[in-house]
């Protein structure tokens, strides 16, 4: 039996067949026609009828509309089940942005009937893993998945897998990504000022899309052996981490975590060799918003890594930071640096995570940084889109375009996500100690006024412990990371400040 499946419901499977087949054992006889799939559907009543898993609401969160990144694998399965159980060709209604964290509950077994069409053969173990991971992380990421009776999942696991669900084991808190750190080897890099060990493309979510990865570097002098390093090795928990978030207007595919490498190569050899306290570096990739008109790498609506909308960008960043914290155990002992929209994300990380759909209990799992370094950042989106000022007025339409692209058409949301509108940073970021804002007067893309607005917001807050500094940058907008020399100097200064060495 062949059936036409809406790409907006099941995503464009042919563009992500590797990742999709890893989750759902798709039949090999799939034909693709543009962004529409013709699939030979397989009846697998055992998977659906025997699972006391979900009671689907009238509307299922639409995964092309965004939502929490950790929901992807579960939503993929649930969308398949939803279509099968409801027996409808119409796609689920998309939720507005205010209901990204709508709940799904474990209740009674799903029923199938003669009017229900067959479903894809979803492997039970992957379905169970998705459910368990989502349940275990529900408190941390906004009660996205609520279990009414956890014993149902326990019993389901025992019956079908002969083992118990270890949701209460904190060592397995990250589900299927618990081993992603060890899966990636350390590679020695001798092309930096000092030798470093690099771990590339480490997934920070289960079944990641093409951008949900983080890169890590540790100077060889802070490792136990300069010539070889076990893939499972982790820096000492006392290590000070410097975590970088790239820019690119939430959409540019050519600006990635690798944009941090010129800075690492520019770090003073003498400074690093003389330093006794260990440091480690990381750079985060995150899901991007659509950019179908990019001149060389246009986005495809079938690629979920480039069809993100708020709050997925910030949730990806929070997932990456939590992953590093849970593995390396450094807590809030880190400096968070970001360029352009990466600076926006850096300050959003320091803001209360409840803003992004997490509950009060969840925010304790992710520790905000001690220091934020904002580089040519975007901090006041309403002003940027309405009256950027001076030579930047010519880009007003561009600013509005990428803002709508990332945050939608509700202009109240633009204000809510803008760090410059935070009224009380002492309450929002109680552990914050230092902010260094670097804004260039010759910046060709971002007005200097953006840095001033952020400074005024921070200085005007009620925090007596937060030291705020606005530093003049140099050159054009991207030169600070393209050359890397100024950013390297600023980072070493920030490291010394945090370490109490300056």
Helix/strand/coil for 425: helix
Measured CA to CA, the distance from residue 340 to residue 487 in angstroms comes to 13
Token readout for 117 is 């069409």
CA 184 to chain centroid, in Å, comes to 19
Q: What's the pLDDT at 362?
A: 65
Cα gap 296→349, rounded to integer Å: 31
Run of H or E including 344: helix 341-350
How many Cα atoms within 13 Å fall on the side-chain side of residue 113? 6
pLDDT of residue 227: 80
Which of 197, 379, 212 lies closest to 279, judged by CA?
A: 197
SS3 414: helix
Q: Rounded CA gap, 426 and 459, in Å?
A: 10
| Residue 81 token pair | 């089940």
Given 443, 463, 478, 497, which residue is catalytic? Answer: 443
Q: Which residues contact 71 (CB under 8 A, 6 or more apart)?
A: 61, 63, 134, 144, 145
- The confidence score (pLDDT) of residue 178 equals 55
Catalytic residue chosen out of the listed positions 457, 477, 478, 497: 477
477 given a catalytic annotation: yes
**Ordered DSSP codes for 435-451:** EEEEE-TT-SSS-THHH
Q: What is the reported pLDDT for 284?
A: 99
Task: Give the pLDDT of residue 137.
Answer: 40
What are the start-end ranges of the H helices in 139-250?
Answer: 150-161, 180-183
- Please name each of the domains of the chain with its CATH number: 2-173 (no CATH), 204-499 (3.40.50.1820)
Q: Which tokens hold the place of 383?
A: 């002003």
Among 60-64, 184-188, 405-409, which is the least confidently predicted range? 60-64
Q: Summarize pLDDT for 11-34 with one digit per residue, the tens.
A: 333 333 344 334 443 333 333 333
DSSP bridge partners of 218:
197
Distances (CA, A) of 356 to 101, 310, 363, 425: 9, 9, 10, 17
- Pairing, β 196-203 against β 213-219: antiparallel
Q: What is the pLDDT of residues 302-352, one digit of tens each?
A: 899 999 999 999 999 999 999 999 999 999 999 999 999 999 999 999 999
- Catalytic residue of the set 180, 340, 418, 457: 340
pLDDT tens-digit readout, 43-66 = 222 232 233 333 333 333 333 333
Asked if the model's pLDDT at residue 139 lies above 80, the reply is no
442-484 per-position pLDDT tens digit: 999 999 999 999 999 999 886 778 999 999 998 999 999 999 9
- What b/e string do you get for 13-26 counting C-beta neighbours within 10 Å, with b at 16 or more? bbbbeebbeebbeb
The Cβ of residue 66 has, within 10 Å, a number of other Cβ atoms equal to 25
74-88, 437-451, 488-502: least confident range: 74-88
Distance CA 453, CA 421 (A): 9
Angle value at C-alpha 465, between 463 and 470, nearest 5 degrees: 85
For 346-381, how does the pLDDT look when each residue is reduced to its tens digit (9 = 90+)?
A: 999 999 999 998 776 666 789 999 999 999 999 999
List phi, psi (to 5°) of 31: -110, 135
List residues bridging with 458 in a β-sheet: none
Residue 294 annotated in active site: no
Q: Is the peptide bond before 377 cis (omega within 30 degrees of 0)?
A: no
Q: What is the mean pLDDT of the chain?
A: 73
Q: Nearest-5° angle of CA 70, CA 75, CA 77?
A: 120
The torsion angles phi and psi of 293, rounded to 5 degrees, stand at: -105, 20
| For residues 408-435, average pLDDT | 95
In whole angstroms, give the CA distance from residue 162 to residue 414.
49
pLDDT confidence tier of residue 206, bands split at 50, 70 and 90: confident
> Do residues 128 and 170 lie in contact, with contact meaning Cβ atoms separated by under 8 Å?
no
Report the DSSP pairing between strands 104-105 and 145-146: parallel
Q: What tokens were used for 116?
A: 């229900």
Q: Is 62 a catalytic residue?
A: no
Largest Cα span, the chain: 74
Give the pLDDT confidence score for residue 361 in this predicted structure: 66
* Residues recorded for the chain: 502
Instruction: Determine the average pLDDT of the residues in 61-81.
Output: 41
**Taking a C-beta distance cutoff of 8 angstroms, is the pair 283, 299 a contact?**
no
């Amino acid at each position: 039996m062949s059936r036409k499946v809406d790409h907006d419901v099941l995503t464009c499977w042919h563009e992500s067949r590797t990742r999709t087949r890893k989750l759902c054992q798709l039949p090999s006889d799939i034909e693709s026609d543009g962004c529409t799939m013709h699939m030979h559907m397989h009846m697998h009543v055992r998977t659906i009828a025997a699972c006391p898993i979900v009671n689907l609401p009238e509307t299922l969160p639409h995964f092309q509309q965004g939502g929490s990144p950790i929901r992807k694998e579960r939503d993929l399965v649930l969308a398949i089940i939803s279509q099968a159980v409801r027996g409808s060709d119409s796609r689920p209604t998309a939720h507005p942005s205010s209901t990204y964290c709508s709940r799904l509950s474990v209740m009674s077994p799903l029923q199938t009937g003669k009017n229900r069409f067959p479903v894809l053969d979803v492997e039970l173990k992957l379905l169970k893993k998705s459910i368990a991971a989502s349940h275990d992380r529900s408190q941390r990421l906004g009660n996205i998945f609520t279990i009414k009776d956890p014993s149902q999942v326990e019993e389901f696991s025992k019956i079908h897998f002969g083992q118990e669900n270890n949701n209460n084991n904190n060592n397995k808190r990250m589900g299927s990504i618990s081993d992603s750190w060890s899966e990636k080897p350390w590679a020695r890099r001798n092309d930096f000022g000092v030798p470093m060990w690099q771990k590339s493309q480490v997934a920070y979510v289960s079944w990641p899309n093409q951008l949900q990865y983080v890169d890590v570097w540790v100077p060889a002098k802070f490792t136990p052996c300069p010539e070889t390093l076990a893939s499972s090795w982790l820096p000492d928990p006392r290590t000070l981490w410097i975590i970088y978030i790239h820019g690119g207007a939430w959409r540019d595919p050519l600006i990635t975590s690798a944009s941090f490498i010129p800075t690492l190569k520019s770090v003073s050899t003498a400074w690093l060799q003389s330093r006794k306290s260990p440091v480690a570096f990381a750079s985060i990739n995150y899901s991007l918003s659509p950019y179908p008109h990019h001149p060389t790498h246009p986005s495809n609506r079938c690629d979920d890594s480039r069809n993100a909308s708020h709050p997925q960008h910030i949730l990806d960043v929070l997932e990456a930071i939590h992953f590093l914290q849970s593995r390396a155990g450094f807590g809030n002992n880190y400096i968070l640096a970001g360029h352009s929209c990466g600076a926006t994300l850096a300050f959003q990380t320091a803001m209360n995570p409840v803003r992004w759909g997490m509950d009060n209990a969840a925010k304790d799992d992710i520790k905000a940084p001690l220091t934020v370094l904002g580089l040519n950042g975007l901090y006041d989106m309403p002003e940027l889109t309405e009256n950027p000022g001076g030579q930047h007025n010519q880009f007003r339409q561009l600013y509005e375009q990428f803002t709508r692209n990332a945050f939608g058409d509700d202009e109240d949301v633009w204000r809510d996500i803008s760090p410059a509108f935070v009224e009380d940073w002492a309450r929002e970021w109680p552990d914050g100690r230092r902010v260094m804002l670097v804004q260039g007067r010759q910046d060709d893309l971002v007005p200097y006024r953006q840095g001033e607005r952020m400074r005024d917001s921070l200085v005007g807050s009620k925090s007596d412990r937060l030291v705020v500094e606005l530093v003049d940058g140099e050159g054009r907008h991207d030169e600070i990371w393209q050359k890397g020399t100024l950013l390297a100097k600023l980072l070493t200064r920030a490291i010394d400040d945090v370490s109490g060495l300056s």
